[in-house]
Amino acid sequence: MFTATSSAFAASESDFNAYVKSLKNEALEQGFSSTLLDRAFNDITFRPTAVKADKNQPEKKITLDDYIVSRVPDWKAEQAVQQYLSNKALLDKIGEEYGVQPRFIVALWGNESNFGKIQGSYSVLSALASLAYEGRREALFKKNFFAALTILDQGHIPIDSFKGSWAGAMGQTQFMPLSFLTYAVDYDGDGKKDIWGTPADVFASIANYLSSEGWDDSGTWGRQVRLTQDVPISGLSKTNMRPLSYWQEQGVRRFDGSDLPKVDVKASLIMPDGESGRIYLVYNNFHTLMKWNRSSYFGVSVGYLSERIKRGY
């Protein structure tokens, strides 16, 4: 069962096997069938690379400019436009039903999995069991492990196809199992919430997440701005949201130097790299994107790609 090669991990083989056995016993207590569990637990192996990736996530500092160049290169923007146009009828239908502009669905899809091309090759169960065993965030990964068993029990995907990222994120949406159970949608009505291979389910699941978390399709995500003087407040805290008229009075201007729009909208002023970097006014929809991923860099990259889709390149 244990596949690590280092002596440190090899010394823990019996500990990991015992931990996996305890997970199986707990799953039996929760009511999962022994038939399902025998199949699900048959190939669970320790994944030290998942633990290493979790411990060694980059502390940066890359800049937002670097991040956007790497996450949204021109070729990805071009592909995003192509995907948007080739799926337009379906995207428009889903977008109208859920109240989410299709360009944001495509932008999230592109950022998460490169339009389904990069979904991860880790066994979801092995990754989650390994991360739970490591212990730093055991409660979180255990909950996701049992959610993953529920996904299998409900028949959404076969065990041998149940692959994802090193952290257990799955499919073209890169949902964690708990998010899958909350937001995934069987849009085509075939009885499976197929975020791995069915575009309709992928698009509807993304739209359902955004809609459920407060998306408003009457507005957008934000805009890049510039400062003409020091501002008294900034940051993503909702207590720092102010009307655009307030930001206009504080010397905030559109990036081209012109006045801000005269509309009754509240915004947060964010400076991910400080005053010397890119500066944005972001709206409530950006706060919804931050629920998807807590990185302001990620949120800006999604907004940026959505603008490229809107422009058509």
Whether 224 contacts 272, CB under 8 Å = no
Whether 115 contacts 109, CB under 8 Å = yes
pLDDT of residue 49: 81
pLDDT of residue 6: 45
User: 164 has which bridge partners?
Assistant: 122, 170
pLDDT of residue 304: 98
pLDDT of residue 66: 96
Whether 283 contacts 266, CB under 8 Å = yes
| End-to-end Cα, the chain, rounded Å | 49
pLDDT of residue 13: 77
Distance CA 94, CA 200 (A): 8
Q: Give pLDDT tens digits along the chain (313 positions).
A: 444 444 444 447 789 999 999 999 999 999 999 999 999 999 999 988 888 888 776 545 799 999 999 999 999 999 999 999 999 999 999 999 999 999 999 999 999 999 999 999 999 999 999 999 998 899 999 999 999 999 999 999 999 999 999 999 999 999 999 999 999 999 999 999 999 999 999 999 999 999 999 999 999 999 999 999 999 999 999 999 999 999 999 999 999 999 999 999 999 999 999 999 999 999 999 999 999 999 999 999 999 999 999 999 8
pLDDT of residue 4: 43
Output the DSSP codes for the chain.
Answer: -----SHHHHTTHHHHHHHHHHHHHHHHHTT--HHHHHHHHTT----HHHHHHHHT-------HHHHHHHHS-HHHHHHHHHHHHHTHHHHHHHHHHHT--HHHHHHHHHHHHTTTT----EEHHHHHHHHHHH-TTHHHHHHHHHHHHHHHHTTSS-GGG-EE-TT--BTTTTB-HHHHHHH---TT-SS---TTT-HHHHHHHHHHHHHHTT--TTS-SEEEEEESS--S--SS-GGG-EEHHHHHHTTEEETTSPPPP-S--EEEEE-TT-TTS-EEEE-HHHHHHHHH-S-HHHHHHHHHHHHHHHHT-
pLDDT of residue 137: 92
